[in-house]
């Protein structure tokens, strides 16, 4: 049942610009102000996180917006502590809106005596009183099964499809979607189907983590405008190397569309100096100043997507309708 009042939003410190943009979009949809809850989230001198909410939330449908990006542990603790504050303040339901779900890459045991940290994080989130999770492009879809509560996993591919159609108008027949590894083929194929483009794969072999020993292009990319699609770009080493290999294989130019721009360490410098024409990321992670200043990095907004999804959850309508490019297009009219 929907709340008797408007949905209530509260945000941690991980990505306040996105939370504020979601608030503005929801206000536009509702025709009334849907503001972020008046609260303070701060730290004591020893680093402990303290939360105080200045508005009544008893019986309210709360949406807690917080990416668990760098610093992942601090942002995760903020999420858990705010959730506990909502539970102890008698909120009717708290939905965690996690645009970027940290620890998602630790979704299985890759070798002996290693943890499955994504499952541990799921247990902590449920233990804090979260009753529903809304996220985007989980690194591994099976993480939804780590939760015993509903999990709505949105996709960036409809946004990417809309942007590609706008940016490459008149060149659609020359496009080739590329998966940077075999594990990402399903994600790349999904976008390829949306824009009716062929699919290629860059097969990589690693000698040890973080180092790529060899790359091979599977498929004919000669004369094609290649678009690499992936969910996470961290240090950008693999991405930049894949772009070089594609050009060596005869591609005309290379662009990349990545859901979550982690972009740690030397990533921005690598992208800036790479042969890629452009790297397109979403704002699921708050961009740093170097990212904003990079000439070949562009950021797509996710606020229209999340605002619509939050409203659909609040009034009990379908979230999966947002998986379709055509259904999402009205929300992005005038944005892309």
Q: Which residues are annotated as a binding site for ATP?
A: 46-48, 105-106
List residues forming the annotated binding site. 46-48, 105-106, 139, 181, 206, 230, 234-238
Spatial CA neighbour of 306 closest among 287, 331, 288: 331
Contact 135, 151 (CB under 8 A): yes
Beta-carbon neighbour count of residue 108 at 10 Å? 12
* Partners of residue 153 on adjacent β-strands: 135
Name, in order, each residue with C-beta under 8 angstroms of 318's C-beta and a sequence gap of 6 or more. Answer: 312
Residue with tokens 């292009």: 217
Residue that has been written with the tokens 């946004």 in this structure = 159
State the Cα–Cα distance between residues 200 and 297, nearest whole angstrom.
23
Neighbours of 175 (CB within 10 A): 19
Give the position of tokens 């259904």: 327
Residue ranges for the known binding site for D-ribose 5-phosphate are: 206, 230, 234-238
Longest CA–CA span in the chain (Å) reads 61
Residues forming the active site: 204
Beta-sheet strands, E only, within the chain: 8-11, 39-43, 49-53, 61-65, 93-98, 132-136, 151-154, 175-179, 199-208, 211-218, 225-233, 253-261, 278-282, 297-300
Return binding residues for Mg(2+).
139, 181
Contact 227, 176 (CB under 8 A): yes
């Amino acid at each position: 049942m929907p709340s008797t009042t408007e949905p209530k939003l509260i945000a941690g410190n991980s990505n306040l610009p996105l939370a504020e943009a979601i608030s503005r979009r929801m206000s536009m949809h509702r025709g009334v102000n849907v503001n972020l809850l008046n609260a303070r989230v701060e730290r004591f001198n020893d680093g402990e996180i303290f939360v105080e909410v200045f508005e009544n939330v008893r019986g309210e449908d709360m949406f807690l917006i917080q990416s668990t990006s760098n610093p992942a542990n601090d942002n995760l603790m903020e999420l858990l502590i705010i959730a506990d504050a909502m539970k102890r303040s008698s909120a009717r339901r708290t939905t965690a809106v996690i645009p970027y779900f940290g620890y998602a890459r630790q979704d299985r045991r890759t070798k002996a005596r290693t943890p499955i940290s994504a499952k541990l994080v799921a247990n902590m989130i449920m233990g804090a009183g979260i009753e529903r999770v809304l996220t985007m492009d989980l690194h591994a879809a099976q993480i939804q099964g780590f939760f015993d509560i509903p999990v709505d996993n949105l996709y960036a591919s409809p946004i990417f499809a809309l942007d590609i159609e706008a940016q490459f108008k008149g060149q659609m027949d020359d496009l080739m979607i590329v998966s940077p590894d075999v594990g990402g083929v399903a994600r790349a194929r999904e976008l390829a189907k949306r824009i009716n483009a062929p699919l290629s794969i860059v097969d990589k072999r690693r000698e040890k983590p973080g180092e790529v020993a060899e790359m091979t292009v599977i498929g004919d990319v000669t004369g094609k405008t290649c678009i690499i699609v992936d969910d996470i770009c961290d240090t950008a080493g693999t991405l930049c190397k894949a772009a070089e290999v594609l050009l060596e294989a005869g591609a005309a130019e290379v662009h990349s569309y990545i859901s979550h721009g982690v972009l740690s360490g030397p990533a921005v410098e690598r992208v800036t100096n790479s042969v890629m024409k452009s790297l397109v990321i979403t704002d699921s992670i708050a961009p740093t100043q170097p990212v904003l200043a990079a000439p070949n990095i562009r950021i797509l907004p996710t606020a229209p997507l999340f605002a619509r999804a939050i409203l659909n959850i609040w009034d009990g309508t379908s979230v999966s309708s947002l998986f379709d490019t055509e259904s999402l297009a009205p929300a992005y009219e005038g944005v892309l």
